[in-house]
Structure 1
Amino acid sequence: MGEEKKEKKRKHHHQSKDKEKKRSKSQHTLDSVQVKVESSVTPVLATFPGVSVPEDTKFQAYSGPKGHYVIHGETERMEYDGQNDPDEDLYYVGVYDPATRTVELMHTPVMTTTRTIKAYKKKAIAAVKQANVQNRVQRNALGEAFGTKKAKRVISDLERNKIEAEKLETYADSIVDNIKTATENLPSADALREQQSEERPIPPCDEGADDLNNIYPLYGLVSKEEFVAIRVGAIFREKDEKKRAALLPFKNSEYINSRVARINNENEMQRLKLLYYASLLMGLYNNRRMSNKRALLQKLNHPAEILVTGLIQKFTDSKVGKVGREKDASFTITPKMEDKLLCYLFVTCLRIDEYSVETPLLAAELSLRPTRVQDLFKALGCKIRPCTSAQKEALGLTNAEAANYKLATLSLPFKLPDLVRRRRTAQSRR
């Protein structure tokens, strides 16, 4: 009995040792290998049922929304395309790293791939195109047989204007040569800009100017010789407002007369000269139906002759059919020249009013629609703005009047608007 107990103890001892060895071995394996589930998709599994793919075929994988993936590869003769079913993507690939003794599990889409023979694909496209042609021919035949007159006319126009590419192939070189010949003499971008600048009815300007006084230079408005010829000493010495106004070329402008009346300092002589020139321009506009220099001199209160000569050169054209006669004896102010005259007048007013002009005053004095005055100021690069509360109070305007009382303001940075070509009617010039 004693020996049997010893034998049982020995067996129990050996069994417990074996269990400890197994436990320590399993614990060692679990402690040293970590499993990590990677969220980003890296590998792709593709199946090619019944298809042998060359080993050097390259595939590109693309991901779409909601777990959709596609792959595409091709050889000289074949195309291979595959896509997955997101509902059945239950596959993971394990990547073991012996250095860190870790396994990364990566969710992997499985692609079922099919192949397409490229030559058959081209034939299929051609067949579809041919089917479309046949359908169109049949539809046109039905239209010609049972359609209305309008439908038949449309079908006839389409057939007549149809261009067949095959027939054009023989003329391709000739067409290209004709296009080259036609475009050889097209103006460059710089030439177009210069031409557009000449077509604008505005004084010379500097779009890169960094000072308001340099945007429209003084001697671009009026030549230096003309500006020197403007004599305003008698106007400055006269203290009576009505007598001052009587010395101006155009006496009936409240805009000019009110500003001339406020000048009482010799430092303002240049501004007084600008007011005189503005009066001269306004007088020319109000006598724009005249066609004779001598009569115009008399109407403008006999200014220096060089000033009237300059006006005729800048703002008038010779009358049609008056060949051989001097321009001084027969000229006309065309609608285009009328716009130019008004633009020169408005730039002069901008310099007088420190680059912020009340447009309703000028519109009333020139008998022009406010919108036309505003359009011409916009052509000069001005912004049209409503008057401020302080200006409304200073001018004594009601809220209703202030809503339509606009100011034309020239500011930096300066930019001319794009030139828009449109037909002008006689009514639009008023």
Structure 2
Amino acid sequence: MGSKRKAAEHDAQSAKARSVAISIDSSKAKVQPVLATFAAGIPAASAAFATYRDADKSRSDRCIVVSETDKIEYVGQSFEGERPLASGCKYLVGVYDSATDTVTFRAAPVVRVDTVIKSLKGVRGVADRDISEQVLAARNELGEAFGNKKRKAQIRAEERNRINMDAVQGDKSVIQASIELRTSSMPSAQDLRAAENTDRPVPKYDAQATAACDVYDMEDVLPRAVAAHIDVAPFVKAADAEEYKKLVPVRSAFVAKKIEGILAQAKPDVAALRRVLYLAYLMRLAALTRAALQRRDACLEALCCAPEVAEALFERFAECVAGSLNPDGSPVFVKTPATETKLVCYIAVLMLSINNWVVYPAELAADLGIPAKKAEKYLASVGCKIEPAHASEMAMNVMSRRARPGPGKKAILKAPVKFPKAPRRGGVAA
């Protein structure tokens, strides 16, 4: 007990022996203390606050402090309106340096910090917007004072593009009326579906048909005026298959088998034969190159059809190049992605109509030289349902030798028809 009393007396005597100096720091240091009061929860000790001071020298005592966490924003200011919070008094913060026995005091503004819960910012009203605007104004003033040319140009651009909500408030009724006028003229969901169906690259169809044979308008697929120019006499009068094979423009086992079956009848079905030959013309057109389409004589020779039929094919499944003419004065035609998609869709519908509304994608792919998956997409885009097919079924019904053996898929057109979502122009439905 006596030792403690002696130690206390020694410390008191040492304190009397040394003198402590006091100084006032009025320099404009970058880091200055701020006294903060918190209206609600106090942030963690590790929270970092950024301080912004007014660039105007007459208001250099004003400052704003901000910080945030994942859920809360802390925004404080040293003024309220045009008056400082601590009007009539001044606060100093002192720091004692034990090495020099000096206490340095520096003026510290008082800041009242409010908390803003981020999830409730949309329902808190105008106060939060005002605080945010003050913070933004302080940041812009800081950028104007110390920012580089790029930052200053960015601030001026943001100021030009900012909307004055108070000015817009008076025009609220005019803006609302304009929006209502424009939205009233917007197409309805039914109109959009109708436009989507119109843009499909398929023949005319009846979405309400209850039988597969009534889904598509075959007059649109092969018009009577075009069918009348398809000459079937050489096929009907031919003594054997070797005599008419050279008149078929494509090497397709599907086409050859269908022609053989029609001609084997006691009274061949002329309408069905014309449909199969038209399918052969479409397949040949799909195989023609861009250069072949431009040479009209070579194109007619390759199609092996009447000029009237070729004209109908060009008009529907190719686009005329404006201002371009062949040496004989005839127009130049080209195939585009949109016309090629339309052409394959018509081929798919024709194959379905000829084969009792069932087509095997492997056979379509083999005849057109496209991947089987792409053939499936084409058949789905005309309303077919893709189902698995056993290897025995494929071997019995797929006529093309170029198709891969084994199990595969079959496409069946069922009524009422259901189309997949319409693709962008020129594409295949996904």
Instruction: Report the TM-score when normalising by structure 1.
Output: 0.57
**What is the Cα deviation at residue 139 of structure 1?**
9.5
1:300 aligns with 2:303: yes
Aligned pair count reads: 297
Change (3 A) 1:130 1:179: closer
Give the letter for the 2:218 counterpart. L
Contact 1:202 1:340 survives alignment (8 Å): yes
Measured in 2, the distance between the counterparts of 1:232 and 1:378 equals 32
**Would you say 1:407 and 2:406 are equivalent positions?**
no
Tell me the distance in 1 between the aligned counterparts of 2:153 and 2:405: 57
Flag the 1:395–1:195 CA change in 2: closer, same or farther, 3 A. closer
1:283 Cα shift? 1.5
Bigger relative contact order, structure 1 or 2 (CA pairs below 8 A, ≥6 apart): 2
Partner Cα distance (1:394, 1:127) in 2: 78
Query: Aligned residue for 2:206?
Result: 206
Corresponding residue number in structure 2 for 1:240:
240
Q: CA deviation at 1:295?
A: 3.2
Give distance in 2, aligned partners of 1:392 and 1:381: 21
Say if 2:278 is the partner of 1:273. Answer: no
1:327/1:259 CA distance change after superposition, 3 Å: farther
Q: Matches of 2:202 and 2:412 in 1, distance apart?
A: 16
Q: Given the superposition, is the C-alpha separation of residues 153 and 275 from structure 1 closer, same or farther in structure 2, using an over 3 Å criterion?
A: farther
Over 3 Å counting, the alpha-carbon distance change for 1:133 and 1:278 in structure 2 is same
Whole-Å separation in 2 of the counterparts to 1:254 and 1:322: 37
Is 2:329 the partner of 1:330? no
SS at match of 2:414: coil
Query: Does structure 2 conserve the Cα–Cα contact (< 8 Å) formed by 1:386 and 1:402?
Result: no
Give the whole-Å Cα distance in 2 for the aligned partners of 1:390 and 1:227: 36
- Quick one: which of 315, 318, 324 aligns to 2:317? 315
For the 8 Å contact 1:293–1:308, the answer to whether it is kept is no
Aligned ranges for residues 46-65 of structure 1 at < 5 Å?
A: none
Aligned to 2:64: none
Q: Could you tell me which residue of structure 2 aligns to residue 419 of structure 1?
A: 422
- Structure 2 counterpart of 1:420, which letter? P
CA separation of 1:317/1:185 partners in 2, compared to 1, >3 Å: closer, same or farther? farther
**Structure 1 residues 412 and 198: CA distance shift in structure 2, 3 A:** closer
Query: 2: CA distance between counterparts of 1:187 and 1:380?
Result: 26
Residue 348 of structure 1 is matched in structure 2 by: 350
Letter in 2 for 1:411: K
Q: One-letter code of the match for 1:256?
A: V
Gaps of 5+ in 2: 1-123
Q: 2:236·2:268 contact (CA, 8 Å) conserved in 1?
A: no
Contact persistence 1:238–1:244 (CA under 8 A): yes
* Structure 1 equivalent of residue 173 of structure 2: 173
User: Percent identity of the aligned residues?
Assistant: 26
Between the aligned partners of 2:329 and 2:211, the Cα distance in structure 1 is: 38
Q: Judging changes above 3 Å, is the alpha-carbon distance between structure 1 residues 130 and 377 closer, same or farther for their aligned structure 2 residues? A: same
Give how far 1:310 is off: 1.3
Query: Contact 2:389/2:410 (CA < 8 Å) preserved in 1?
Result: yes
User: Structure 1 unaligned runs (5+)?
Assistant: 1-123
Aligned residue number for residue 87 of structure 1? none
Structure 1 residue 126, shift from structure 2 partner: 6.4
**Structure showing the higher helix proportion among its residues:** 1
For residues 327 and 192 of structure 2, what CA distance do their matches in structure 1 show?
A: 34
Deviations 1:144-173 (CA, angstroms, capped at 9, x unpaired): 999xxxx99999999887656434212323
Aligned CA RMSD, in angstroms, stands at 4.2
Closer/same/farther in 2, CA of residues 378 and 144 from structure 1, 3 Å limit: farther
AA aligned to 1:209 is A
Shift of 1:314: 1.1
Partner in structure 1 of residue 48 of structure 2? none
Contact 1:312 1:328 in 2 (8 A): no
